[in-house]
């Protein structure tokens, strides 16, 4: 890996390419200490990970190549680029992000002493734009949690004889579902390089079922008793959208597009990666200021405008009635200034999104029932389809994919099986 950059565009004259190229050479503001006026990019970067003895490095996933440094803290279990604790990153910038995976060497049958703490140190070495070599050391520490013998033998927290679970473990309350979703996504995408995407989807499903079986609260064989703590409540939703994303569904994607989407994901931070997995949706109407909307077919209304951000595309979607008003040029009449402001608001917000993003996303303005509306409809939860009885509220999504509600019902049924 060279740490190179990739842009997807129809031509070199397209704004997506030209603006992205300009942002490659972005500089620090002049008032930034030591770095003022310098290029933000850095060169010849390497990353080394050191750990305490209780766990080892399994590997890393990102824009990197192995340096084949087999130290004592390297695990036999390889994830991504494994078998080493040091990697070459080539060129980097402040947004470059690497996922590092670890393996615990001390299993539950040999608990650690009480009060034992773990240590991780990330050593990042790179050449600054001014020619000097810099070394940044980031050290983290935290406690270990030991599962007691009584907890291992305890029944389900809601009664019955289920798998051993403790609903009050520090592991449960420290779970970061956003970071976990991105780590799972990177791992799933990496597995598609050597496995069939259908097998990867089944692996994602099995992993989610195991997680819910271990950390959810429920009575065995009683799906209606299934409950997820707030720390886990969004995780199934993230994986539902991952299963339908362009990372695992290659239908209608060229090899170039698939490689581009996966490469950008492999070097993006958690916030941007979550937007790629589960896009954000804003709704604009006369009823008040812009509101976050559910990524659902029911959010499509004739009298609203939707702003969809998928990271790679920014879509302004006009409902059927709004599009008719615009075609009638009501926004050009002085007495309909509120309608003109309604049309301009999502465009201004879309420009703010594109001004701060690299690579520059493709900007799409479309109307309901028109061809480019597919960029929005393909991302929505298909709660209303052509098979729905009574039609329901919102726009129909023509797909055979299950909705989030059906997905969660199957998840609960499989998780509570004894």
Distances (CA, A) of 175 to 151, 178, 180, 268: 19, 9, 8, 21
Please state, in angstroms and rounded to a whole number, the distance separating the CA atoms of residues 24 and 36.
17
Strand partners of residue 246: none
Please state, in angstroms and rounded to a whole number, the distance separating the CA atoms of residues 52 and 80.
21
DSSP alpha helix (H) spans, 155-250: 170-173, 177-191, 197-215, 235-244
Give me the tens of pLDDT residue by residue for the chain, a chain 418 residues long: 678 899 998 889 888 999 999 999 999 999 999 899 999 999 999 999 999 999 999 999 999 999 999 999 999 999 999 999 999 999 999 999 999 999 988 665 677 777 789 999 999 999 999 999 999 999 999 888 876 654 554 444 444 444 445 556 788 889 999 999 999 999 999 999 999 999 999 999 999 999 999 999 999 999 999 999 999 999 999 999 999 999 999 887 889 999 999 999 999 999 999 999 999 999 999 999 999 999 999 999 999 999 999 999 999 999 999 999 999 999 999 999 999 999 999 999 999 999 989 999 999 999 999 999 999 999 999 988 766 655 556 788 888 889 999 999 999 999 999 8
Can you list the positions of beta strands (E) in 319-400? 362-367
Residues whose CB falls within 8 Å of the CB of residue 324, separated by 6 or more in sequence, listed in order: none
Give CA torsion, residues 262, 263, 265, 267, to 10 deg: 160
């Amino acid at each position: 890996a060279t740490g190179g950059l990739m842009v997807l565009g129809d031509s070199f004259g397209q704004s997506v390419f030209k603006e992205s190229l300009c942002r490659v050479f972005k500089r620090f503001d002049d008032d930034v200490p030591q770095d003022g006026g310098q290029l933000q990019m850095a060169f010849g970067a390497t990353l080394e990970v050191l750990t305490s003895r209780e766990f080892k490095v399994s590997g890393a996933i990102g824009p990197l190549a192995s340096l084949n440094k087999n130290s004592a803290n390297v695990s036999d279990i390889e994830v991504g680029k494994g078998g080493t604790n040091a990697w070459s990153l080539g060129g980097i910038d402040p947004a470059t992000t690497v996922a590092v995976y670890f393996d615990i060497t001390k299993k539950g049958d040999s608990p650690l002493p009480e009060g034992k703490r773990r240590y991780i140190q990330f050593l990042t070495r790179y050449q600054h734009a001014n020619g000097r070599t810099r070394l940044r050391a980031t050290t983290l520490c935290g406690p270990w949690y030991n599962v007691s013998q009584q907890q291992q033998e305890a029944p389900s927290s809601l009664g019955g004889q289920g798998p051993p679970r403790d609903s009050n473990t520090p592991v449960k309350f420290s779970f970061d579902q956003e970071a976990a979703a991105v780590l799972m996504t990177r791992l799933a995408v990496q597995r598609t390089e050597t496995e069939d995407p259908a097998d990867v989807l089944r692996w994602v499903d099995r992993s989610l079922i195991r997680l819910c079986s271990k950390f959810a609260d429920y009575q065995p064989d009683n799906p209606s008793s299934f409950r997820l703590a707030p720390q886990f409540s969004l995780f199934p939703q993230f994986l539902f959208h991952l299963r339908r994303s362009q990372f695992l569904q290659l239908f209608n994607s060229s090899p170039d597009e698939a490689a581009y989407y996966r490469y950008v994901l492999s070097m993006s931070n958690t916030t941007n990666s979550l937007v790629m997995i589960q896009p954000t949706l804003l709704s604009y109407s006369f009823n008040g200021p812009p509101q976050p909307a559910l990524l659902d077919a029911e959010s499509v209304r004739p009298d609203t405008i939707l702003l969809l951000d998928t990271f790679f595309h920014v879509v302004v979607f006009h409902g059927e009635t709004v599009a008719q008003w615009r075609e009638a040029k009501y926004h050009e009449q002085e007495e309909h200034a509120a309608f003109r402001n309604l049309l301009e608001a999502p465009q201004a917000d879309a420009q703010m999104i594109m001004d701060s993003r690299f690579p520059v996303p493709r900007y799409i303005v479309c109307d309901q029932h028109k061809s480019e509306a597919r960029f929005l409809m393909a991302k929505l939860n298909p709660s209303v389809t052509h098979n729905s009885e009574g039609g329901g509220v919102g726009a129909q999504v023509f797909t055979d994919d299950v909705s989030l509600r059906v997905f969660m019902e199957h998840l609960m049924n499989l998780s509570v099986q004894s």
